Structures are given as structure tokens and as C-alpha cells.
Structure 1
Amino acid sequence: MVKPVLLDEQLCFSIYRAQKAYNHFYGKVLKPYGLTYPQFIAMLALWEHGKMSVKELGHHLELDSGTLTPLLKRLEADGWVSRNRASDDERRVDVTLTEKAESQKEEIYERVGACTNYLDFSSDKYHELRQEMNEVEHHLNAIQMNNARFS
């Protein structure tokens, strides 16, 4: 008989709890702007890359259109982005930042940046943890792609 790994010993549960805590943390940080964490990461991608199609943005965020479209509709209703059909391809919807988004970018960066100081991690520790999470993701993706048992 295989000895079960208890819930609190599961790496996946530790990551899940940390992710929930991070989302809650960012929820409080972003509340003055009326942004949720998923909306914030969409804004980050747009600030970094500029105008993108919904498909490109979904690729960067690893979100499907069923999740991304309502998020973008809310951002548009709140004045953060505009969505327009591309003139050269009506099937493509492009997302651009509004003046509101551009004008509040630095303030949001400062607020989020200041709040990450509460984690009390050195810069090296922060980057080490991020790299370890990337490594976990890389291994999981490799397992799923190379192992038919997960199909």
C-alpha cells in the first residue's frame, strides 16, 4: 500500500494557499483603483507590450477568451482599456490602454512595489522563489506533454 502524502505535506497545496494569499493581498492593494488581480495582470501585460489583440493578450496571460473577454469588458466599462475591431481583420479585436490607464500607471507601480516590501524578502530571495516557481511549472508542463497517462 502506498503511504498517502497528507494535505499539509503537499507541494500543490502549499502553492495553492500561497496563490490565494497573494490574490487576497493584491486585492487589498488594488482596491483603491477598482482592479482585481486578474485585471491587474492584464494591465501589466498591456503596459509592457502596448496594443495587443485579445488573442495575444490571452497568450501572454495564459487565459482563454471565455475568461479574458468578461475581464476586458469590465476594464473597458471602468475606463482602463478600449477594445476595437482591427481595420484589416474584423475577426481580431485589439485592446489598447486609455489615458486613465497611462496616467495611473506609475502610481499603481509604486503602490504595488511598496507593498511587496511587506514580504520582507531580499531581492535575491524574491528572484530565487520566482525562479523555483518557474521551475515547478516547467517540470509540470514537461510531464504533461511527455506522459500519455495524463491525457
Structure 2
Amino acid sequence: MRQFGRTYRTFLAAFEAAVGLPMQRWRVLLSLHQRDEAISQKQLAEHLQIDPGALTRQLKHLQAMGWIERAVDARDNRITNVSLSSAGRAAVDDALPRRNAFLETVTVALPDDMLNVLSTALGLFETQLREQVAVRPTV
């Protein structure tokens, strides 16, 4: 388990160094980049499977950078919609080649069969973790 933690932290640091963005912000930007329209913060948090509070913190940073826009929904003022600004779209377009090159570089030493085994093992581990969280007793 220690190796898993070390590898994860190393991956995040290497990703940020190569792409120029922390993974948490990149995931938000990429998700918005893949959409043509705004999405509610709640839907975005569910899609990214992250805590709504953590998403709000990331969105505040991205909004301060001018990369996203947040607006109250015209039909329901309880909903805040999020979309990528033109500057944000340009930033993602600029970073995508670096992200793709990074992923190619870090996986080139691993044969496809080994990557498939790793992916399967991580998927099983994630499923087990989700099941553990689902049955966690409430205090």
C-alpha cells in the first residue's frame, strides 16, 4: 500500500510539472472542455466523483484565472451552472498535447498486456473501496 501511495503522489507531481496544471484542476477543465454547454456544479461534482466543496474550491481558482464562468441558472436560482470560457478552452487546447505526450512517456515502458493487468487490478481495487464506503457505519 505504501508503494501505491508513493506512486500516486509521484504521478500527480509529474503530471503537474509536465502539463502545467494540478490534476484536480485539469480534470475539471477537461470535463468542461468535452461539453458544448454549461453543466450544473452538482452534476459536475457527480460526474467527476468529487466532494462538492472540493469542486467549489477548484472552480474559484479557475474562475479567478478567467478560465471558467459560473452563472445562476435562469430557470432555478438554486442552481449554479459552470462552463468553460474562451480563455479556458484555449488553455485546455494548449495543454492537451503536453498531457498526451506525458501519458505516452510514462506508459511507453509498459507493454500493453501489463497496462491491461494494471488497469484491471486498479478497477477491482476501486470497486472494493466503493463497496467499503457504502457499508461504512454512520456515527
TM class, shorter-length: 0.7 to 0.9
- Deviation string, structure 1 residues 33-74 (Cα, Å, up to 9, x no partner): xx3221001112112234211111111222222211121011
Following superposition, the deviation at residue 129 of structure 1 comes to: 2.2
Distance 1:138-1:22 versus aligned 2 partners, 3 A rule = same
1:29 partner amino acid: A
Which residue among 95, 118, 128 is the counterpart of 1:139? 128
Which residue is 1:76 aligned to?
A: 63
Aligned length: 134
Structure 1 residue runs without a partner (length 5+) = 1-10
Once superposed, what is the RMSD of the aligned Cα atoms? 1.9
> Are 2:32 and 1:46 equivalent residues in the alignment?
yes
Identity of aligned residues (%): 22
TM-score (norm 1): 0.78
Deviation string, structure 1 residues 85-130 (Cα, Å, up to 9, x no partner): 0000111100000111222333311111111222123455434423
Structure 1 or 2, whichever has the larger Rg, is 1
Q: Which residue of 2 aligns with 1:85?
A: 72
**Structure with bigger RCO (C-alpha 8 Å, 6+ apart):** 2
- Give runs of ≥4 in structure 1 deviating > 6 Å: none
* TM-score, structure 2 normalization: 0.84
SS of the residue corresponding to residue 49 of structure 1 reads coil
Of 96, 118, 125 in structure 2, the residue corresponding to residue 109 of structure 1 is: 96
